[in-house]
Amino acid sequence: MPSRATMERPAAAIPVEKDPDVLAAAARMAGEDLCSIADLSSAEVRAILKLGREVKRSPAEYRHALDAKQMVLMFEKASLRTRLAFETGINTMGGNAIFVDQTNSPLGERETIADVARNLERWCDVIVLRTYAHDTITEMAANARVPVINALSDFEHPCQALADFMTLEEHFGAVAGLNFTFVGDGNNVCHSLMLTGAQLAVNVTVATPRGYSPDIEIVTIAREIAAKNGVEVRLLQDPQVAVEGADAVYTDVCVSMGMEHESTKRAPIFRPFQVNEALMSKAKPTAVFMHCLPARRNEEVTDAVIDSPQSIVFDQAENRLHAQKALLLLLLGGLANVEVFSSANRPSACAPGGFQTRVL
């Protein structure tokens, strides 16, 4: 794998209000959807993380950025971090969140998704969905004239991956060239982590039992992105080999929501993939442990690891708020309402143009 030492070091920090990645993302992403990490360019992923760090550092600067914006969350699955991070996020930027519990009435059952979309777009500025079928999210996006955000589907979990790599940047600085290892089920979280890591020039290794590898479509896309960024995506079936030299070791439950009927079957298959002290000892001494939560303690990870100084799982959880606030700001054109952005990019007599976003 390409060494981190060989990767180009980042230039001196540019103020976020002048950062070309952030300004370009603000112009391109306003009014768009986020169904998949693959919807974003590498520069847009970087922009979300940069803006997330700034929002975290100076939340008061953004307290009126989304004044009067209405967000609806429609969730078919239970949620703690995703729901509260979105609700807290928009509320602290001047907007409002409306939660609709769909756990007993899946979207598309009572009326068509297209009809739901055509109603929601008349009342709300953004639609946040947490669903089983990924097609539910893409169909809503195809029919709604307001942004649709994937807050988890059976295929991807982009908001989680953005927060995770924001957390890695906080811990390591620049993440380009890091060695990131995912151990466990090649599931929705794994898919988004692969894509995000590839976008950020991170070497990604995935270790899964035979028959539980990530989706080949995602693998192909991630490898194409990784090749352009000078890194690689590896698929292995030996967790011991996979974690050797890792800077970050990540795992998730081996039985995702909706797959509970497979618990008995999966338990012995995934037992050798448990992240314990012995497995972590094969990673670098400075390696961190990561988990999207909720964790099934002493199943996919031991208490000794998740509660160790190497664990950054609650930093990941905290950063769900800041990464999702950054995403909302970009999709809803909120930076135009932030003084530091509007003043820094205000047109002058000799410099036409300036900070612009699409009108939603």
81 is catalytic: no
pLDDT score recorded for residue 95: 98
Active site residue 320: yes
- The radius of gyration of the chain from alpha carbons, rounded to an integer in Å, stands at 20
Catalytic choice (46, 53, 81, 130): 130
Q: 3-state DSSP call for residue 360? A: coil
pLDDT of residue 103: 96
Phi, then psi, of 43 in degrees rounded to 5: -65, -35
Q: Which of 46, 81, 191, 320 is catalytic?
A: 320
Question: Mean pLDDT over residues 13-35, rounded?
Answer: 95
Known catalytic residue at 240 = no
What's the confidence (pLDDT) of residue 262?
82
CB 165 within 8 A of CB 112: no
Whether the predicted pLDDT of 360 surpasses 70: no
Strand order in the sheet with 96-101: 96-101, 70-75, 126-130, 148-150
Q: Which of 33, 81, 160, 164 is catalytic?
A: 160
Number of residues written out for the chain: 360
Give the chain's domains with CATH numbers.
Answer: 15-156+320-341 (3.40.50.1370), 158-315 (3.40.50.1370)
| C-alpha distance from residue 35 to each of 120, 208, 218, 239 (Å) | 17, 25, 13, 30
pLDDT band at 11 (very low <50, low <70, confident <90, very high): very low
From 33, 134, 292, 324, the catalytic residue: 292
* Separation between Cα atoms, residue 100 and residue 107, nearest integer Å: 11
For position 8, what pLDDT does the model report? 42
* Arithmetic mean of pLDDT, 201-212: 98
pLDDT per residue over 312-347, tens digit each?
999 999 999 999 999 999 999 999 999 989 887 766
Confidence of residue 197 (pLDDT cuts 50, 70, 90): very high
Dump pLDDT digits (tens) for 272-308.
999 999 999 999 999 999 999 999 999 999 999 999 9
What pLDDT, on the 0 to 100 scale, is given for residue 2?
61
Active site residue 190: no
The single residue of 252, 254, 291, 322 carrying the catalytic annotation is 252
Structure tokens at 182: 């995912």
Residue 358 has pLDDT above 80, yes or no: no
Q: Would you put residue 217 in left (φ > 0), alpha (ψ -120 to 50) or beta? A: alpha
Tell me the C-alpha distance between 112 and 15, whole Å.
Answer: 45
| DSSP 8-class letter at 211 | T
Confidence of residue 7 (pLDDT cuts 50, 70, 90): very low
Q: Is 292 among the residues known to form the active site? A: yes
From CA 263, how far away is CA 349, in angstroms rounded? 66
pLDDT tens for 51-73 read 999 999 999 999 999 999 999 99
Set 157, 191, 291, 322: catalytic member: 157
**4 confidence band (pLDDT: 50, 70, 90):** low
* pLDDT tens digits, one per residue of 223-261: 999 999 999 999 999 999 999 999 999 999 998 666 777
Token pair for 141: 């996006």
Q: What is the pLDDT of residues 78-133, one digit of tens each?
A: 999 999 999 999 999 999 999 999 999 999 999 999 999 999 999 999 999 999 99
Establish whether 185 is a catalytic residue.
Answer: no
